[in-house]
Amino acid sequence: MSKITISAVVAFLLILAVVPFSRAALNAHYYDQTCPQAESIIFQTIRNASIYDPKVPARLLRMFFHDCFIRGCDASLLLDSTPGNKAEKDGPPNVSVRSFYVIDDAKTKLEKACPRTVSCSDVLAIAARDVVAMSRGPWWHVLKGRKDGRVSKANETINLPSPFSNTTTLIQSFAKRGLNVKDLVTLSGGHTLGFSHCSSFSARLQNSTDTSINSEFAMSLRKKCPLQNKDRNAGEFLDSTSAKFDNDYYKRITMGKGVFGSDQALYGDDRTKSIVDSYAKDEKLFFTEFAASMVKLGNVGVIEDGEIRVKCSIVN
């Protein structure tokens, strides 16, 4: 066997080792024949919900991340708990995940148009793309053909990335899902949409050894999140243009104004700092890379032996 052939085999085996989950082939045109109106139905549902509630885009994008990071992109996050099982959506990191009704509404309409055809996991993947595009971010072709999982366990949500994580922990967490250092920094840019309650970052405000945070910014956060905070709704937007998908998140990190310790840590590590700088300077580059990383994330944990749920909150 030639050296070139051996190298090719080794490279292929390495790819299999890095991405062990993706067993099913996805296709951008998966529903072209069976449900050509699927993406239009999902888009209209999400647009209407977002007009009614501006928090919907950030919530659905976060929902997609949290689903794909546990058991892969199989809509296990959408399943309700049962008397015999506490599901992912009731795990501690997901208690604040909201707007499941939007996905349920889209799925109800899809069942009327194309019964038992479009999986809940595909609805969520398309929804994540649409909320980014609607927020003036990039658009990409969503690969489709996922099946829905039948297992959802709250205790597995401990494996979700934490706002308190350091960069090494984050890199390891992403690597387990076949995502590299650039994917980590790129997908973290999803924080350009959204809001965080004090509980996710207030600990670092009391840490006098954390010099990574801008002192004036820390002071403003302490006013919003005092030690004896009684306002459960108190918190901070994750960037200054929280309803618009842009690169302001990265600009703020370069100024020491990352809300989460995990966000600011990206600028204090040589493995990630230069990527943060490049996105802070070039929004178009960030958009291109974000679309690519979202497609990659959407391939994590795709299963062939699942089902197409009729209702996203319960197994068939």
As for how many domains the chain has, the answer is: 2
Q: Which segments are annotated as binding site for heme b?
A: 191
141 catalytic residue (yes or no): no
Quote the pLDDT of residue 123.
98
Quote the pLDDT of residue 12.
41
Please state, rounded to an integer, the average pLDDT across all residues of the chain. Answer: 89
Q: What is the 3-state secondary structure (H, E, C) of 113-140?
A: HCCCCCCHHHHHHHHHHHHHHHCCCCCC
Yes or no: say if 120 and 306 are a contact pair by the CB < 8 Å rule.
no
The 10s digit of each residue's pLDDT in 72-89 is: 999 999 999 999 999 999
Quote the pLDDT of residue 235.
85
Residue 15 included in any domain: no
Quote the pLDDT of residue 209.
66
Rounded CA separation 238/119 (Å): 31
In this structure, are 155 and 176 located in the same domain?
Answer: no
Give the residue numbers spanning the domain of 89. Answer: 37-159
Quote the pLDDT of residue 5.
42
Q: Please give the share of the chain, as a percent, with pLDDT higher than 70.
A: 92
What 3-state DSSP class applies to 279?
Answer: helix
In this structure, are 88 and 129 located in the same domain?
Answer: yes
Which are the contacts of 54, defined by CB distance < 8 A and separation ≥ 6?
243
Rounded CA separation 1/294 (Å): 37
Residue 308 included in any domain: no
**Which of the following is catalytic: 29, 66, 141, 197?**
66
CATH code for the domain of 259? 1.10.420.10
Lowest mean pLDDT among 3-12, 39-48, 194-203: 3-12
Instruction: State the pLDDT confidence band at 6, using cuts at 50, 70 and 90.
Output: very low
Q: Which residue has the higher pLDDT, 226 or 143?
A: 143
Closest C-alpha among 37, 198, 205 to residue 106: 37
Q: Is the pLDDT of residue 11 over 80?
A: no
Q: Which segments are annotated as binding site?
A: 67, 72, 74, 76, 88, 161, 191-192, 241, 246
Residue 126 included in any domain: yes
CATH code for the domain of 120? 1.10.520.10
In this structure, are 132 and 234 located in the same domain?
Answer: no
Instruction: State the pLDDT confidence band at 16, using cuts at 50, 70 and 90.
Output: very low
Quote the pLDDT of residue 215.
85
